[in-house]
Amino acid sequence: MKTTVIAVDGYASTGKSTLSKRLASELNFTYIDTGYMYRVVSYFALNNNLITNGVILEDQLEVALAKTNFTWSENSESKQMMFNGRVYGDEIRTLEISTWVSRIAQLGFVREHLVNQQRILSQLGSVVMDGRDIGTVVFANADYKFFLTADPKVRAQRRYDELQGKGEDVRFDEILKNVVDRDHQDSTRAISPLKKAADAIEIDTTLFSVEEVFQKMVSTIKSS
C-alpha cells in the first residue's frame, strides 16, 4: 500500500500544530507532533533532576532516555501519543519548558533517539508530521512539504493569547524573547538545523487566518 507523508516545518508558533492536526483529520492521516516529543523529553529531564543549576546532565539523560519510548494509546477514540505510557498536555506547553526545549533539542543523542521513534511511530500508514527537520532530515522524501513563517510579533501574540487563555501568568515581552531565541537556537544548531527544504512550499501566515492557510495547503495537495 502506498503511504503518503506530509511534512510541515517552520518557525516557533506559526500554527504548525493546529494546521497539521486539521490536515490529518481532513485526509484521515495520523498526526505526529514532533515538538511534543522534544517538549516531553525536556519535561522528563526537568522532573528527574537531570537539569540542575542550569546545566543539563547529558550523560545521565542519555542513559535514562535510552530506556524510554513513545507509543500510541490503544484504548482512546482519538489516537494519542504516550511517553512511557502517559499522555502529556498543558504541562509541556509552559514557558519554562519552552525555555529549555531548544537546548535539549540540540543534543545529538536526543535527536537520534527521537528521530528513530518518529520513524517507528509513522509505520502505521499515511502521516502529517510537523517539526523543524521533517522535510530536510526525518522524511527528506516526503510527498508534500510546507514551510511556515510569520512575523515574530504576530507569532508571540498568538502564543501569548494561548497561554493567557490557559491561565498562565506570562508577559508578552518574555514570550517574544522566547520565540526569537528559539528560532535562533533552532536555526543555528549543528545537527539538523531548522531550514526550509529546497522543495518545500513556503507560506507566510502573518496576514492569514488559520482557515485561509488550511485552504491553501489543502488545495496544494489536491491539485498535485
Residues engaged in binding ligand CDP (CB under 6 A): 12-13, 16-17, 34-35, 38-39, 101-102, 105, 131-133, 182, 186
**Helix ranges, the chain (H):** 16-27, 34-47, 58-66, 95-104, 108-121, 152-165, 172-188, 210-222
Measured at CB, which residue is nearest to ligand CDP?
35
Between 116 and 219, whose beta carbon lies closer to ligand CDP? 116
Q: Compute the distance between CA of residue 135 and CA of residue 140 in angstroms, rounded to an integer.
A: 5
Joined grid coordinates for residue 98: 519552552
Between 5 and 105, whose beta carbon lies closer to ligand CDP? 105
Q: How far is the CB of 122 from ligand CDP (least distance, A)?
A: 13
**Measuring CA to CA, which residue among 218, 215, 214, 37 is closest to residue 144?**
218
Between 22 and 182, whose beta carbon lies closer to ligand CDP? 182
Q: How far is the CB of 1 from ligand CDP (least distance, A)?
A: 26
Between 20 and 29, whose beta carbon lies closer to ligand CDP? 20
DSSP letters along 54-99, please? TEE-HHHHHHHHHT--EEE-SSSSS--EEETTEE--GGGSSHHHHH
Between 29 and 98, whose beta carbon lies closer to ligand CDP? 98
Main-chain phi, psi angles of 143, to 5 degrees: -70, -35
Q: How far is the CB of 99 from ligand CDP (least distance, A)?
A: 10
Q: How far is the CB of 165 from ligand CDP (least distance, A)?
A: 15
Between 13 and 29, whose beta carbon lies closer to ligand CDP? 13
Main-chain phi, psi angles of 197, to 5 degrees: -70, 145
Q: How far is the CB of 102 from ligand CDP (least distance, A)?
A: 4
Between 29 and 136, whose beta carbon lies closer to ligand CDP? 136
Residues 6+ apart with CB under 8 A from 216: 203, 208
Residues 6+ apart with CB under 8 A from 173: none
How far does CA 74 lie from the centroid of its chain? 22
Q: How far is the CB of 127 from ligand CDP (least distance, A)?
A: 13
Q: How far is the CB of 16 from ligand CDP (least distance, A)?
A: 6
